[in-house]
């Protein structure tokens, strides 16, 4: 259990740091505070709303069935995200001297 916690925490920290760097790279100096606050609000909502929904559904459906629906929802979102990412990569055409990122990245 400790090993799983370390692996999960390391993965979450890496993804969080990378996504935050990716998002902030596109914001101008005067836009970063607003963008960062929106990023955190979205993050908190993404964690809290499914947990609240599961808490409301557990007395009605039972804990096992609620966990099954919760897991199915997570799997559905992960597969959808993978499909969208693969479709986006298929449509992005980058020339030999072009970068897929904005000029603000310093590349």
Q: Could you give the angle at the alpha carbon of 25 between the alpha carbons of 102 and 100, nearest 5°? A: 30
Find the range with the poorest average confidence among 14-18, 25-29, 64-68, 92-96.
92-96
pLDDT band for position 25 (cuts 50, 70, 90): confident
Domain-embedded: residue 68: yes
d(CA 67, CA 54): 8
Domain-embedded: residue 98: no
The pLDDT assigned to 101 comes to: 54
Q: Which domain holds residue 80?
A: 2-93
Domain-embedded: residue 82: yes
The number of domains in the chain is 1
Q: Residue 102 in contact with residue 26, Cβ under 8 Å? A: yes
Tell me the per-residue pLDDT of 34-77, one tens digit each, with 9 for 90 and over: 998 998 999 899 889 999 999 999 999 999 999 999 999 999 99
Q: Which residue has the higher pLDDT, 57 or 98?
A: 57
Calculate mean pLDDT across residues 86-92: 83
- The token duo for 53 is 């929904």
In this prediction the pTM is: 0.59
Domain-embedded: residue 101: no
């Amino acid at each position: 259990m400790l090993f799983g916690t370390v692996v999960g925490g390391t993965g979450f920290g890496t993804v969080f740091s990378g996504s935050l760097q990716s998002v902030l790279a596109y914001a101008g100096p005067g836009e970063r505070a607003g963008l960062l606050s929106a990023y955190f609000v979205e993050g908190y909502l993404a964690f809290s709303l499914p947990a609240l929904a599961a808490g409301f559904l557990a007395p009605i459906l039972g804990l096992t069935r609620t966990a099954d629906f919760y897991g199915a929802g997570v799997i559905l979102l992960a597969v959808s995200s993978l499909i969208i990412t693969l479709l986006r990569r298929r449509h992005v055409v980058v020339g030999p001297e072009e970068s897929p990122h904005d000029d603000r990245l310093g590349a």
